[in-house]
């Protein structure tokens, strides 16, 4: 088999050790193999980089094993071409895949060009990912604590959530603070209601009748303190993300070399021009914020996952396939098998689906029309995934062309669509016991 990389290395990474295998050309052209084991401390990683450099290694491959590959990648990325490979892809390639032969097998696959590198974003985007993902974790933690708070109220027979919309709103929070303080009189608690909630005087009195013990008050107090802490942490991350986006400038890829006078263009064809500059982070957030269903928080999270540079994705289809928001393509022998979407990023796909649910509530929008057209045939889940796909395609062109979202409007229904809709409505009316006769309306010429 043809050798693609003559100086290649494979790394089998564990929590405390790294097994490295190098393949280099021998004196007679036969490959030489050398295996060493290193630790995972910083000085050990530097020793690994120095050993790979002494061997003239140009390409290094490693499996994406949890979080253990990240410190190794940070040390090696400046000196080598590092491929972080999906472990499942390595296991599907036939060969001797054992714990002892891991590093050798990875290096052998790499030198023959059989490994495909995963997309590793540049350092600024990785930093922004850390911030947005941790903020998402904090928001999810807050939701869990709020649910635990509600569970304690149910134990105490307090049905406040059945009357108020937000259990942590101004009025409800004042009532909870009074309950924690030992107040048990319903009249006093009801007087803490503000605004339109004061009109629900009777419902509040009934909802606040319960059996609150000191045990419940202690749990409620700790949950409220925990929620306040999480609110403060989320606000700190919001500020840090906003500052980071406002000050960070995306790194530009190296410019192509200028053509020499000898390299004339006799055919007269257009010489490709340099690619447009990458959209700045702050401008990219503002562009994404113009799309329906996407607020600033969602825009920050989407930008952290896909980045502002769309040149790394050859087309909108590649981005949708990478995000796993498009149907799968599984065909064999002229037969099409399941078109289920793959397992996408647990950070990107949920926010796209959430934005799609918000976008279809915009009256007169194209995305709302797409959802209404597909939900009858596909159901809610597939229809909303199709809307998320359309939304990601729009985001791709917004960042690529540096233009805000443009509403394309709803196209008038075709004649076949009109006929099917009329027939469906006719069947519904006939099911109610009526007789309907459909006739085309007369066209009025003005």
CATH number (domain holding residue 56)? 3.30.420.10
Q: Are 133 and 113 contained in the same domain?
A: no
Q: What is the reported pLDDT for 258? A: 47
Q: Are 104 and 132 contained in the same domain?
A: no
pLDDT, tens digit (0-9, with 9 covering 90-100), for 418-444: 888 888 888 889 888 888 888 877 765
Task: Tell me whether residue 198 is in a domain.
Answer: yes
342, pLDDT greater than 60? yes
Q: Are 310 and 393 contained in the same domain?
A: yes
Q: Are 95 and 147 contained in the same domain?
A: no
Q: What is the reported pLDDT for 333? A: 63
Task: Tell me whether residue 435 is in a domain.
Answer: no
Q: Are 99 and 185 contained in the same domain?
A: no
pLDDT, mean of residues 258-286 = 63
Q: Are 113 and 144 contained in the same domain?
A: no
Distance between CA 34 and CA 23 in Å, rounded?
7
User: Could you write out the DSSP letters of every residue in 126-167?
Assistant: HHHHHHHHHHHHHHHHHHHHHHHHHHHHHHTT--GGGT-S-T
Q: b vs e for 363-391, b when ≥16 Cβ sit within 10 Å of the residue's Cβ?
A: eebbbbbbbeebbeeeeeebbbbbbbbbb
Q: What is the reported pLDDT for 266? A: 47
Q: Are 21 and 69 contained in the same domain?
A: yes
Crossing angle between the packed helical segments 316-323 and 380-401, to the nearest 10 degrees: 130
* DSSP secondary structure letter of residue 99: S
Q: Are 285 and 395 contained in the same domain?
A: yes
99, pLDDT greater than 90? no
198, pLDDT greater than 70? yes
pLDDT, tens digit (0-9, with 9 covering 90-100), for 353-387: 999 999 999 988 899 989 998 998 889 999 999 99
Q: What is the reported pLDDT for 86? A: 84
Q: Give the number of domains in the chain.
A: 3
Task: Tell me whether residue 269 is in a domain.
Answer: no
pLDDT, mean of residues 202-229 = 93
- Indicate if the alpha-carbon torsion angle 311, 317, 319, 321 is positive or negative: negative
Q: How confident is the model at residue 96 (pLDDT cuts 50, 70, 90)?
A: low
Structural tokens at position 16 = 């405390």
Domain that holds residue 297: 281-328+342-401
C-alpha distances (whole Å) from 333 to each of 26, 173, 330, 337 are 45, 63, 10, 10
Q: What is the reported pLDDT for 295? A: 94
250, pLDDT greater than 70? no
Closest CA to 280 of 67, 170, 77, 124: 124
pLDDT, mean of residues 409-416 = 70
Q: Are 212 and 320 contained in the same domain?
A: no
Query: How would you list the strands of the sheet with 17-25, edge to edge?
Result: 31-39, 17-25, 8-13, 59-63, 81-85
CA atoms within 13 A on the CB side of 339: 10
Element (H, E) at 432: none
Phi then psi dihedrals of residue 95, to 5 deg: 160, 180
Q: Are 395 and 287 contained in the same domain?
A: yes
- What whole-number percentage of the chain has pLDDT above 70? 87
203, pLDDT greater than 50? yes
Task: Tell me whether residue 262 is in a domain.
Answer: no
**Residue 296 CB burial class (10 angstroms; 0-12, 13-18, ≥19):** middle
Which of 100, 120, 140 corresponds to the end of one domain? Answer: 120
Task: Tell me whether residue 410 is in a domain.
Answer: no
Which of 363, 378, 401 corresponds to the end of one domain? Answer: 401
Distance between CA 285 and CA 90 in Å, rounded?
37
Q: How confident is the model at residue 409 (pLDDT cuts 50, 70, 90)?
A: low
pLDDT, tens digit (0-9, with 9 covering 90-100), for 56-66: 999 999 988 78
Q: Are 102 and 168 contained in the same domain?
A: no
Contact of 14 with 87, CB cutoff 8 Å: no
Which of 91, 120, 149 corresponds to the end of one domain? Answer: 120
pLDDT, mean of residues 125-138 = 95
Distance between CA 407 and CA 285 in Å, rounded?
18
Task: Tell me whether residue 287 is in a domain.
Answer: yes
**Lowest-pLDDT range of 136-150, 198-212, 291-305:** 198-212
pLDDT, mean of residues 402-417 = 78
268, pLDDT greater than 70? no
Residue holding tokens 């500059």? 277
CA atoms within 13 A on the CB side of 246: 6
Q: What is the reported pLDDT for 421? A: 81
Q: What is the reported pLDDT for 54? A: 94
Q: Are 154 and 169 contained in the same domain?
A: yes
388, pLDDT greater than 80? yes
pLDDT, mean of residues 133-137 = 97
Top pLDDT among 202 and 228 is at 228
Q: How confident is the model at residue 90 (pLDDT cuts 50, 70, 90)?
A: confident
Task: Tell me whether residue 20 is in a domain.
Answer: yes
Q: How confident is the model at residue 331 (pLDDT cuts 50, 70, 90)?
A: low
What is the average pLDDT value for the chain, to the nearest integer? 86
Distance between CA 260 and CA 264 in Å, rounded?
8
Predicted model pTM: 0.79
Q: What is the reported pLDDT for 119? A: 84
147, pLDDT greater than 60? yes
Top pLDDT among 82 and 415 is at 82
Task: Tell me whether residue 179 is in a domain.
Answer: yes
DSSP helix/strand/coil, 51: helix
255, pLDDT greater than 50? no
């Amino acid at each position: 088999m043809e050798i693609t990389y003559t100086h290649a290395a494979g790394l089998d990474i564990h929590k405390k050790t790294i097994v490295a295998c190098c393949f280099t050309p021998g004196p007679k052209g036969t490959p030489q193999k050398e295996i060493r084991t290193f630790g995972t401390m910083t000085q050990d990683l530097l020793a690994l980089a120095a050993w790979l450099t002494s061997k003239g290694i140009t390409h290094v491959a490693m499996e994406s094993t949890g979080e253990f590959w990240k410190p190794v990648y940070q040390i090696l990325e400046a000196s080598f071409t590092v491929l972080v490979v999906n472990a499942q892809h390595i296991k599907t390639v036939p060969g001797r895949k054992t714990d002892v032969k891991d590093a050798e097998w990875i290096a052998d696959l790499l030198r023959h060009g059989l490994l495909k590198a995963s997309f590793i974003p540049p350092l600024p985007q990785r930093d922004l990912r850390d911030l947005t993902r941790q903020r998402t974790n904090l928001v999810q933690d807050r939701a869990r604590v709020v649910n635990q708070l509600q569970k304690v109220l149910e134990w105490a027979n307090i049905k406040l959530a059945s009357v108020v919309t937000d259990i942590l709103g101004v009025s409800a929070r004042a009532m909870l603070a009074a309950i924690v303080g030992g107040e048990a009189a319903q009249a006093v608690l009801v007087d803490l209601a503000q605004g339109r909630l004061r009109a629900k005087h009777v419902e509040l009195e009934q909802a606040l009748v319960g059996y609150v013990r000191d045990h419940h008050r202690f749990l409620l107090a700790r949950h409220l303190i925990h929620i306040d802490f999480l609110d403060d942490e989320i606000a700190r991350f919001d500020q840090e993300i906003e500052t980071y986006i406002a000050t960070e400038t995306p790194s530009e890829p190296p410019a192509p070399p200028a053509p020499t006078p000898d390299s004339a263009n006799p055919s007269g064809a257009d010489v490709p021009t340099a690619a447009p500059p990458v959209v700045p982070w702050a401008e990219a957030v503002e562009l994404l914020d113009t799309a329906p269903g996407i607020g600033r928080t969602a825009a920050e999270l989407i930008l952290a996952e896909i980045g502002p540079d769309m040149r790394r994705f050859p087309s909108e289809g590649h981005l949708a396939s990478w995000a796993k928001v498009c149907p799968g393509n599984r065909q064999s022998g002229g037969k099409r098998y399941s078109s289920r979407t793959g397992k996408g990023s647990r950070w990107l796909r949920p926010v796209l689906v959430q934005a799609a649910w918000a976008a279809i509530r915009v009256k007169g929008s194209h995305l709302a029309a797409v959802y209404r057209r597909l939900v009858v045939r596909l159901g809610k889940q597939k229809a909303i995934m199709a809307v998320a796909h359309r939304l990601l395609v729009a985001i791709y062109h917004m960042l690529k062309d540096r233009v805000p979202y443009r509403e394309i409007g709803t196209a008038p229904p075709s004649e076949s669509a009109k006929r099917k809709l009329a027939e469906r409505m006719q069947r519904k009316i006939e099911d109610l016991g009526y007789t309907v006769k459909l006739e085309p309306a007369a066209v009025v010429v003005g």
